[in-house]
């Protein structure tokens, strides 16, 4: 391939080949005798990473502990494969799965919404999380006509003096924000994984090709390198929205264009309206 020839001519290597070459070295020469292998964010593991893990185990007999959440698998574009998570017991026989059920972040009403929302995808593993927190309306939807500028002052007041994450699908969406104040921080949803805040404001929730869910089609060449998983429509985009909704400890403020809402917004209103407060006039 031209890509590989270019790398070779420049004496460079990409990340995937770093993993592949490491596997070859371990297989050929061995490795330090580790007793334990600990993996975080296991839901984002790729096939070649699993091959490296298994080769290290073959050489060391190390015990493996992996922590992850299939509901938050959002890095398919980097080669992560959800089947590796779901088939953990097949890949690593004689293992034991321990489900962590207690959460200290989200209110129970939000957990009810997000659990049902994410499990629309039949491939996701069903889990019922527990919490002592409660909030009757963990989701507030603010409609605007043309621009979020129409509701931004209201949002700024609502979130004043409270740690707030502003989340969106794309980096360039920051241009939609009229201004940022001290307690507000903008991130893409991908970069927010693992973080939390008192409140979140989620923007770019229109029914557009570059919104959420994104309708941008992959290049035809990606089919040769990207794992063929997730036959459910917008499966990874659904998980991405799940990640966005579960960053908050209190309230999600969703800013929505009135005449062109995201299909995810329509789904929330249709199925979980009892937990949603809708603001149409200001």
Please classify residue 189 by burial: count the beta carbons closer than 10 Å to its beta carbon, then call 0-12 exposed, 13-18 middle and 19+ buried: buried
Using alpha carbons, select from 130, 67, 127 the residue that is nearest to residue 103.
130
How far is residue 76 from each of residues 111, 125, 136, 252, 272, measured CA to CA in Å?
A: 24, 17, 34, 26, 28
Q: pLDDT: is 161 or 150 the higher one? A: 150
Which pLDDT does position 8 carry in this prediction? 83
Which pLDDT does position 235 carry in this prediction? 94
Rg (CA), the chain: 21
Q: Is the pLDDT of residue 9 over 90?
A: no
Please classify residue 217 by burial: count the beta carbons closer than 10 Å to its beta carbon, then call 0-12 exposed, 13-18 middle and 19+ buried: exposed
If you average pLDDT over residues 118-133, what whole number do you get?
Answer: 94
Poorest-pLDDT segment among 53-67, 160-174, 205-219? 205-219
Using alpha carbons, select from 189, 194, 187 the residue that is nearest to residue 40.
194
Q: Tell me how far apart the alpha carbons of residues 192 and 65 are, in angstroms, rounded to a whole number.
A: 24
Which pLDDT does position 70 carry in this prediction? 95
**pLDDT category of residue 4 using cuts at 50, 70 and 90:** confident
Place of tokens 């293992």: 95
Q: Tell me how far apart the alpha carbons of residues 174 and 172 are, in angstroms, rounded to a whole number.
A: 5
Which pLDDT does position 223 carry in this prediction? 60
Which pLDDT does position 104 carry in this prediction? 93
Using alpha carbons, select from 132, 130, 107, 102 the residue that is nearest to residue 250.
107
Q: Tell me how far apart the alpha carbons of residues 241 and 202 are, in angstroms, rounded to a whole number.
A: 9
Which pLDDT does position 222 carry in this prediction? 60
The fraction of the chain above a pLDDT of 70, given in percent, is 95
Q: Tell me how far apart the alpha carbons of residues 119 and 96 are, in angstroms, rounded to a whole number.
A: 23
Poorest-pLDDT segment among 57-71, 112-126, 153-167, 223-237? 223-237
Which pLDDT does position 279 carry in this prediction? 93
Which pLDDT does position 89 carry in this prediction? 95
DSSP letter at 184? E
Q: Is the pLDDT of residue 165 over 70?
A: yes
Q: pLDDT: is 205 or 280 the higher one? A: 205
Q: Tell me how far apart the alpha carbons of residues 239 and 214 are, in angstroms, rounded to a whole number.
A: 12
In what helix (H) or strand (E) does residue 144 lie, and over which residues does it extend?
strand 139-144
Which pLDDT does position 153 carry in this prediction? 94
**pLDDT category of residue 227 using cuts at 50, 70 and 90:** low
Which pLDDT does position 224 carry in this prediction? 57
Per the prediction, the chain carries an average pLDDT of 92
């Amino acid at each position: 391939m031209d890509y590989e020839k270019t790398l070779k001519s420049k004496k460079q290597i990409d990340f995937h080949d770093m993993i592949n070459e490491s596997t070859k070295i371990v297989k050929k020469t061995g490795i330090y005798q580790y007793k334990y292998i600990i993996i975080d964010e296991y839901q984002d593991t790729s096939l070649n990473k699993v091959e490296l893990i298994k080769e290290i185990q073959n050489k060391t007999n190390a015990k493996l502990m992996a922590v992850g959440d299939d509901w938050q698998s959002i890095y398919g574009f980097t080669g992560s494969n959800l089947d590796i998570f779901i088939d953990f017991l097949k890949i690593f026989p004689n293992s034991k799965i321990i489900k962590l059920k207690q959460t200290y972040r989200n209110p129970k009403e939000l957990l009810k919404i997000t659990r049902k929302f994410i499990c629309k995808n039949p491939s996701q593993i069903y889990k019922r999380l527990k919490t002592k927190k409660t909030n009757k309306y963990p989701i507030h939807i603010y409609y605007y006509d043309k621009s979020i500028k129409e509701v931004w002052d209201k949002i700024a007041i609502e979130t004043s003096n409270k740690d707030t994450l502003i989340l969106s699908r794309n980096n360039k969406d920051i241009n939609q924000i009229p201004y940022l104040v001290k307690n507000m921080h903008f991130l893409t949803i991908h970069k927010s994984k693992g973080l939390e805040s008192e409140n979140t404001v989620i923007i770019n929730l229109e029914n557009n090709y570059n919104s959420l869910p994104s309708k941008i089609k992959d290049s035809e060449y990606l089919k040769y390198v990207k794992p063929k998983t997730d036959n459910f429509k917008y499966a990874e985009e659904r998980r991405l929205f799940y990640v966005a909704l579960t960053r908050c400890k209190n309230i999600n403020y969703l800013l929505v264009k009135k005449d062109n809402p995201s299909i995810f917004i329509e789904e929330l209103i249709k199925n979980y309206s009892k937990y949603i407060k809708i603001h149409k006039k200001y």
